[in-house]
Amino acid sequence: MDQNNAGAGKPKIDKEYLKKLADKIKAEKQKKANLSGQAPAGKPAQPPVVPELLTDEDEEDMAAEKTAIIDLASLSGHAADARLVILDGKDQGKSLDITRDEVYCGRGLDNDFVVSDISVSRKHFKVVHDGDHFTVHDTGSGNGIRVNGKKESGVTLYHNDIITAGARNVRFDILNEDILANFSRQSEKGEEQVIIERKGSSAAMWTMVVVMLLLIGGGGYYVAVWMPQHQQQAVIPFKLGFEELDRVDELIEDQKLTKAERLIASYLGKLKLEDIKEKAQLQTKQKQISEEKKIEEAINKAKKLLVTGKKEEIDVLLKNVPQTSIFYKNVKAVAGADRVIGWRLAEVAVMMDKKNVDQAITTLTDLLVDNPDNKKISAMKDKILGTVGAEKMEAIAKEVAKKKEVAKKKKDAKLAKRKKRIAAAKKKKARRKKKARRKKAKKKKVAVVTPALGSMDVDEAVDMYASKNFNGAIKLLKKIEKKGESSAVKKSAKKTRVNVTKFKLLWKKANKAKGAKKKKLLEMCMKYDTKVSGGRLAGEIQDAMDSAASGGGAASADFDPDRAKKLYMEGRAKKTSDPAAARAKLEEVLKLVPKTNKYYKKAKKLLKKL
């Protein structure tokens, strides 16, 4: 197989034609030999003999002729857009011009591009011509593939990328100039360099201007040529990433569907025609919003029907709303928790009739975790338990609990990430404001011959206070009292300093105090915080008050409610069969949760009965 032309449409070779061609080559060679070596006198020249077998030299002549035929076929609309070249091993230098949509590479002889090495799988990877670019995909190989040293399963290829299969390295070259213009890593670096150069400092800009004026000898070139070029800003193309999609998800989860639609429309307007994958992701979000809007409309209709008491019509509207919907809580609020449980138990009954036992137990367990004391759910559980047995029931229940725990962890991680991003945005905004204030104050100081401290500096002292730098705030306020630009500013600084000092002392005492005394001190801190900053530390003070109200113990400050539920359920289940184990579980609940938690009260009540 000719590797360099394997993808050129695989033209059919006429074997009869090749045989005749071989005969013709042999005859021509014999004729030349007879003419060069003079035959003896008196003896007629022997007619040319065509041998049946071809020598290596003859095969090379035939191969050259065959290559010419394939090249002629490759010119008929199958020009190569890219090429693969083996860089090492015994096949070093072997190449393949890619002219088809899919090219398979590996050790097996049935591949389009054979890489002869034991570390390479029989079918190791494939290169796909995907619209206006190429991608490489691992086809289930043993060693996997790496692109430029990074392990990948499927990724877009750029010019001169190195694909590593096993111990062999294959270079990917783009031959098509149109594709090369968009998929060259050098061009990307060039664009980044342009952006960096155009973001130079103003000092460097004026230095350049002066140099150019000196070289050219006048300002005309600066005004006519350089300045218009400098004003052209490098445009950074929009890229849809995880953060953009996460913003859309946040709006959907917060039931702000119209805002989510507008955001998606703005993203779609920024995407290019070739961003097919990104558009598909946004269209999926649009479809989700459309479904949620239908559910929202159904809930609004059900609210109106609730006044007239038409429960059957409400059932029709809300019964089939999935639990994954963002409006599922609203469904419970409109229809009532008992009615929703009734719908789910009816579903469980249908599942059992259809012999979908696992699905029925999964749904029932999910209901039981959220409603451990519901008699109807417990009755259904006992009924199924008699059918399938306790062992299977317990195994599925554990699996459901594990899935719920994983889902909760994912949700918590997502929420933490969102809070972190919001905090970072607030911090960035505060920095910008602070910078603007300083800039404004600096301009003001330049304008005034005698520097004087003003209201901006009082605001800066308040910022120090809000960041809990109390000593720094007091020091600055004392300075403003002495060098304030007006009597009003000095008076404001003095009043603020007194309140900050009082807050500092109260806060220090509150951190050492406990119980009611701590709460009282924190309430006083709240008042002074309002006077100083308008309540910028109110959240932190409130957290401290909540901690003091709940006892401040480790269990009350941070506990896992799902674990408390699980322990209570396990203890309740073993109260008859194994009272000692039940007592241990319930005592663990008392240690885990604060006294105000409902599972603390339930566990304590059950312990008295044991």
DSSP string, 55-86: PHHHHHHHHHHHHHHHHHHHTTT---SEEEEE
Residue 29: per-residue pLDDT: 72
Distance, CA of 545 to chain centre: 38
Cα-based distances in Å from 550 to 198, 590, 597: 57, 14, 10
What is the residue-wise DSSP string for 109-163?
TTSSEE---TTS-TT-EEEEEETTEEEEEE-S-SS-EEETTEEESEEEE-TTEEE
Cα-based distances in Å from 386 to 354, 356, 375, 383: 17, 16, 17, 5
Query: What backbone phi and psi angles, to 5 degrees, belong to 84?
Result: -110, 135
Residue 558: per-residue pLDDT: 54
Query: What backbone phi and psi angles, to 5 degrees, belong to 252?
Result: -65, -45
Q: What is the DSSP letter of 513?
A: -
Contact 295, 325 (CB under 8 A): yes
What residue ranges of the chain have pLDDT lower than 50?
1-12, 38-46, 48-77, 189-202, 219-235, 447-450, 552-557
Two tokens, residue 84:
């693969």
Rounded distance between C-alpha atoms, residue 170 and residue 592, angstroms: 59
Least Cα distance to 444 among 458, 435, 454, 434 occurs for 454
Coil vs helix vs strand at 608:
helix
- Number of CB atoms found within 10 A of residue 396's CB: 19
Strand pairing of 145-147 and 168-174? unpaired
Two tokens, residue 416:
């933490």
Q: In what order do the strands lie in the sheet with 133-138?
A: 113-114, 102-106, 125-130, 133-138, 154-157
HSE, CB side, 13 Å, CA atoms: give it for residue 11: 18
The residue type of 574 is: K
Rounded distance between C-alpha atoms, residue 499 and residue 102, angstroms: 75
Residue 42: per-residue pLDDT: 45
Contact 258, 252 (CB under 8 A): no
Two tokens, residue 294:
């239908």
Coil vs helix vs strand at 573:
helix
Residue entry with tokens 């270079």: 171
Rounded distance between C-alpha atoms, residue 593 and residue 507, angstroms: 28
Least Cα distance to 364 among 391, 334, 394, 408 occurs for 394
Q: What is the pTM of this model?
A: 0.33
Least Cα distance to 125 among 148, 100, 153 occurs for 153
Query: What backbone phi and psi angles, to 5 degrees, belong to 83?
Result: -145, 145
The b-or-e profile of 560-585 (16+ CB within 10 A means b, else e) is eeeebbbbbbbbbebbeeeeeebbeb
Q: How are the residues of the chain apportioned to helix, strand and coil, as percentages rounded to the nearest 5? A: 65, 10, 25
- Number of CB atoms found within 10 A of residue 594's CB: 16
Residue 542: per-residue pLDDT: 81
